[in-house]
Each structure stands twice: as C-alpha cells, then as structure tokens.
C-alpha cells in the first residue's frame, strides 16, 4: 500500500510486493496480541498499554530516521550520535541558557538537521560510501558532545517536559505515540504524493538512471540525510520527555540495531529505492509486542532473549509462507 518499489533488484524480490508484507506483519502483530492477551490478562492493562506504546513510539521514530536514508540506498550509522547531540544541546539551551521550551526543542532539531546535512554533503562530495562516512561521523559527533559537555547530564529541565512524557491520553495512550503516528503520516504523504518523494526513491533505485532523467541525485541524498538527522533528533527529544532529563548515555551505538529492525522487518530494502512507512511501524511493533508479551508472561528471566529470537523467527517465517501461499493462489487463478 505505502510501498513504491521502483526497484530493479532480483526478480525473486519483485515477486513479493511490499504491500503484502505490511498486511502480513499487521496480521501477525494482531495475532500475537490476541495470544498474549489470552495468556496474560495484564498485557492489555492500561498501564502496560501505555508503557508499551511509549517505548514503541521512540523505536518507530528511530526506525524512520534510518528508513529515509535506506530509501536512497545509503545508511546512517550516526542516528544514535545525532540523537544524543540533539538531546544534550536541548538540555544546554533549556537548563543553562534558560530558553523557553519550544526554542530549546527547535534548537535540538536544527542541530540534528545540520549534522545530517554534514553527513549528506560529505557522502555526495567525496563519493565514499555512506557506511564509512557515517561510521566516522558517529564517532566525531559523539566525541564532540563529550568534549563540550564533559558528559554531565542536565537533570534540572523545566518540569513540563517530564510531565508531558508521563501524560496519558484517555488513560493509556502516550502523546509520544501520537507524535510518531503524525510523523508517519507526513512521511507517507512525502513518498506517496510528492515529486520530491518520487525523486528520492528513483535516486535510490538507480542513481544513474535517475540522474539521466533529471533527478538532482546529490541534492536528494543530502535532503534525505537532513531528514534523517531531524528524525533522529526528534527521537532524542522524545526520550528527553520520557526521561525528564537530558543525558549523554542515550542514543549512541544503542540505537544502531533498533534503527534497522523496524524498516527491514517492514520490507524496506537495504539496496534502496523502496520505503515502507507503515511497515516500519509494524516491524517495530512486532519486536516490542513480543518483548512485552514475554515480560508480562514472565518467561524465563535470563532465557528471555532465546524466546524472543525464536518467536521473531517463527513470525517472519509465518509471514513468508503466507505470502508465498497468497502468490501461488493468485497465480493459479490467473
């Protein structure tokens, strides 16, 4: 549905339309919800729903920050570093400079965008691959943050921020989840309904062909990195609201794997040219659901990761066989 595949990758992959991946994921997440609710009534208690939704919201935005760069066929290993830079700069603006909250938050977002732009420009200008550039810049950004802040957290922020993070809409919905959904909607519109979105996907699928048909590939890549930086900063600021403090230990390498999980589970290709906005949300939801379900069921303490891995494996395999089955049936009908 949300997928625009302008891809020229292996025919095997093309047989699998991304839209069905998203339907399948949604079905599996739904199925797991039913199972966990049946096994442990506490799973759908307002407290648990609120807590799951809130951590999911941050994971989704981290996933988006990676997804927008994956669309161009690149990647951004610096999402975590940009996130923590935004967090600490907002902390500085609010606590040390004493600016009002909106300006402090805007400062963090702008810094995220600027750092993203640095990544994008470095990649386009040098032609070195995005992996290496962002690997190095992740270290540079984090290092600069350490030098400037001496790793001292800001824990006297305006209390409204922390209150916002604890706010519950209707008893169990976190406003952070609403923000994540709004960002998702905006990205959906960008890739689905704007010329810029189509240019990004075209550049990601086949840069040479895109350039020949007049797409400013370099600018498109830089734009995607700016967007990625702003989204990473957003995730960081959501975490500030969640924690009520700006601390240097958030983000960093810890975001690396989560940033890929959502998009890739959701059907975004690492080779570029496709995005799955809804898929990224469902992908993140799948992992969060399994983890939360296992916690509520109180499965095995130290063994929990084993169950998490096995269920995740079964879930993606179930989805795979469902889509292969659906494909065969539709071929048979033809």
Partner 1 sequence: MNAILRRFLMVEWSGLLGAIVLGVVVLSWLSPAFLTEFNIYVMLRSFCVALLVGFAQMVTLAVGQMNIAVGALGGLVAITVGGLMETFGLPIAVAVPVAVGIGALGGLLNGVLTARTGINGFIITLATASAFTGINLGITQSIPYYKLPPAFVAFGSERIFGFPFLLIAPVIVAALLALFLARTIPGRHLLAVGGNPQAAELSGISRDRTIMLAHVLSGTLAGGAAVLAVAQLGSAQPSIGTDWLLISFAAPIIGGAALTGGNVSVFGTSLAVILIALIENGMVLANVDPYWVQFLLGALILAAVWLNRWRAVRTGGG
Partner 2 sequence: MKLFCDSIRGLAASSIFAGLTAALAFAGPAQASDNKIALIPGGPHPYFAPWEQAAADAKKDFGIAAVDFKVPTEWKLNLQTELIESLSAQGYTAFRIFPGDAVGINSTVTELKDSGVPSAALAGCAQDPTDVAFCLGTDVYNSAYLGTKELIKAMGGKGAIVHLAGLLVDPNTTLRVKAVEKAVAETNGAVTLLQTVADTDAQEAADQKINALLAAQKDQIGGMIATGYIPSVVASKSLRTLGDKRIKFVGIDDDPIVLEAIKDGFVAGTMAQNPYGQAYIGAYALDLLAGGGCTVKDDAPWIQTPQTKRFIDSGTMVINAENLASYKDDLKKITTEIQGSFKDKYLTCK
Which of 74/252 has CB closer to partner 2? 252
Please report how close the Cβ of residue 165 comes to partner 2 at its closest, in angstroms: 7
39 binds partner 2 (CB under 8 A): no
* Angle, CA 322 vertex, CA 181 and CA 308 arms, to 5°: 60
In the block, tokens 């990647």 appear at: 75
Q: Cβ 308 to partner 1, closest distance in Å?
A: 5
How big is the chain by its Cα radius of gyration, in Å?
20
Angle 286-287-290 from CA coordinates, rounded to 5°: 85
Cα-based torsion angle of the residue sequence 113, 115, 119, 120 in order, rounded to the nearest 10 degrees? 20
CA dihedral angle for residue 250, residue 251, residue 253, residue 254, rounded to 10 degrees = 70
Q: Does 306 bind partner 1 (CB under 8 A)?
A: yes
Phi then psi for residue 134, to 5 deg, are -75, -25
Q: Judged by CB under 8 A, does residue 304 bind partner 2? A: yes
The tokens describing 189, both together, are 């519109």
Candidates 160, 310, 329, 330; binder of partner 1 (CB under 8 A) is 310
Among 169, 186, 270, 329, binds partner 1 (CB under 8 A): 270
Q: Which residues in 148-166 are b (16+ Cβ under 10 Å) and which e?
A: ebeeebbeebbeebbebbe
Q: Is 110 among the residues that bind partner 1 (CB under 8 A)? A: no
296 binds partner 2 (CB under 8 A): yes
Considering only 117, 139, 219, 327, the residue that binds partner 1 (CB under 8 A) is 139
CA dist 154 and 159 (Å) reads: 12
Q: Which two tokens stand for residue 273?
A: 């040219």
Site mask for partner 2 (CB under 8 A), range 185-224, x = bound? ----------------------------------------
Binding of residue 47 to partner 2 (CB under 8 A): yes
Among 208, 301, 332, 334, binds partner 2 (CB under 8 A): 301
With binding defined as CB under 8 A, does residue 175 bind partner 2? Answer: no
Residue 257 binding: pick among partner 2, partner 1, none (C-beta 5-8 Å cut-off by kind)? partner 1
Q: What angle do CA 71, 242, 37 make, to 5 degrees?
A: 80
Q: What is the pattern of x (binds partner 2, CB under 8 A) and - over residues 235-264?
A: -------xxxx-xxxx-x-x----------
Total of residues contacting partner 1 (CB under 8 A): 49
Closest CA to 237 of 227, 224, 250: 250
Name the minimum Å distance from CB 249 to partner 2.
4
Identity of the residue, 5 or 55, whose beta carbon is nearer to partner 2 in the bound complex = 55
Measured CA to CA, the distance from residue 220 to residue 157 in angstroms comes to 37
Question: Is 305 an interacting residue with respect to partner 2 (CB under 8 A)?
Answer: yes
User: What is d(CA 1, CA 311) in angstroms, rounded to the nearest whole number?
Assistant: 26
Residues in touch with partner 1 (CB under 8 A): 10-12, 77, 126-129, 131-133, 135-144, 146-147, 150-151, 253, 256-257, 260-261, 264-265, 270-271, 300, 302-310, 312-313, 316-317, 320
């Amino acid at each position: 549905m949300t997928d625009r595949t302008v891809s020229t990758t292996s025919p095997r992959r093309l047989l699998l339309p991304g839209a069905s991946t998203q339907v399948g994921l949604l079905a599996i997440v739904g199925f797991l919800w039913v199972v966990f609710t049946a096994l442990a009534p506490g799973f759908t208690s307002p407290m648990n729903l609120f807590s799951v939704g809130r951590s999911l919201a941050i994971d989704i935005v981290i996933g988006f920050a990676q997804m927008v760069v994956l669309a161009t066929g690149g990647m951004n290993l610096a999402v975590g570093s940009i996130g923590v830079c935004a967090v600490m700069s907002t902390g500085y603006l609010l606590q040390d400079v004493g600016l009002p909250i909106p300006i402090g938050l805007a400062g963090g977002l702008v810094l995220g965008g600027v750092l993203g732009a640095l990544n994008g420009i470095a990649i386009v200008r040098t032609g070195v691959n995005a992996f290496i550039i962002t690997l190095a810049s992740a270290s540079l950004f984090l290092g600069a943050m350490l030098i400037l802040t001496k790793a001292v957290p800001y824990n006297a922020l305006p209390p409204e921020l922390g209150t916002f993070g604890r706010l519950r809409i209707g008893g169990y919905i976190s406003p952070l989840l609403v923000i994540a959904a709004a960002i998702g909607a905006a990205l959906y519109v960008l890739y689905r309904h704007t010329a810029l979105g189509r240019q990004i996907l075209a550049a990601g699928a086949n840069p040479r062909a895109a350039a020949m048909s007049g797409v400013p590939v370099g600018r498109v890549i830089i734009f995607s990195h700016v967007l990625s930086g702003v989204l990473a900063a957003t995730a960081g600021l959501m975490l500030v609201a969640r924690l009520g403090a700006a601390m240097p230990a958030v983000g960093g390498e810890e975001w690396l794997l989560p940033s890929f999980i959502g998009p890739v589970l959701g059907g975004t290709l690492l080779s570029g040219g496709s995005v799955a906005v809804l898929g990224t949300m469902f992908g993140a939801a799948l992992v969060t659901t399994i983890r939360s379900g296992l916690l509520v069921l109180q499965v095995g303490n130290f063994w929990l990761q084993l169950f998490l891995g096995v269920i995740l494996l079964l879930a993606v395999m179930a989805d795979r066989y469902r889509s292969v089955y659906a494909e065969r049936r539709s071929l048979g009908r033809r």
